[in-house]
Amino acid sequence: MEFDLEMRTRSTEPTVLVMGMGATGVSCARHFARRGIAVEFADTRERPPGMEQILDVMPDARLHTGRMPRELPETIRRVVVSPGVDLDSPLLADASRRKLEVVSDIDLFVAECDAPIVAVTGSNGKSTVASMLGTILNAVGKRTVVGGNIGTPALDLLDPAVEIYVLELSSFQLERSGPVPAAASVILNVSPDHLDQHGTLSAYTSAKARIYLSCDRGRQP
């Protein structure tokens, strides 16, 4: 996935809105701060986790909490959606109407990742398997880091010295992301889960299956 290179230049008016704070929002703050890109943050919670950390990284960041407006600020050109954000949000509808770029932190990670990815999902056991893979790969001499839905957010993993990334990906992350060009992808199992969000087992399974969309295009170890 390609992103507008003009957004890498330092700007004073926010061109990016990150929806959802928490761990993903904080990692996005660090990611964009390193690139000199002004960002706004929005979260429907009045006191979402991560607010203080975001302000530590971006003291001048604009934070919107609680009741959300129905339209995006005019300067916004890209929206980054955290895993827990409601896809029926009026702000996302406005982004669609304006034909803005809507991405996830995983998309941002993929755009800058220059090492093979091993992607793991499943209803149960994905954290255990991802951690085991990291241990095994490090033991055979491959500098490997593990994160995503487990532990460290994907954007905080980016490091030119890393040889293999092992990403645990939830159904929410996969549903909100484009294809992940992994060297290897695996679905461990699927059982009814998060149906309050996905609606049906079929929709939940389809979200999980997105892990295979670009599996044949990934860098090989």
Q: Which pairing describes strands 39-43 and 16-19: parallel, antiparallel, or unpaired?
A: parallel
CB atoms within 10 A of CB 100: 16
198 is catalytic: no
194 is catalytic: yes
149 is catalytic: yes
Domain boundaries 5-103, corresponding CATH code = 3.40.50.720
pLDDT tens for the 221 residues of the chain, in order: 333 433 343 456 789 999 999 999 999 999 999 999 999 999 999 999 999 999 999 999 999 999 988 899 999 999 999 998 988 999 999 999 999 999 999 999 999 999 999 999 998 899 999 999 999 999 999 999 999 999 999 999 999 999 999 999 998 999 999 999 999 999 998 876 665 676 688 888 888 899 999 887 767 76
Say which of 31, 138, 149, 198 is annotated catalytic: 149
Say which of 126, 142, 198, 208 is annotated catalytic: 126
Domain ranges in the chain are 5-103, 113-217
Q: Which CATH number fits domain 113-217: 3.40.190.10, 3.40.50.1100, 3.40.1190.10, 3.40.630.30?
A: 3.40.1190.10
Say which of 64, 138, 142, 194 is annotated catalytic: 194
Residue 22 sits at φ, ψ, to 5 deg, of 65, -160
d(CA 157, CA 169): 14
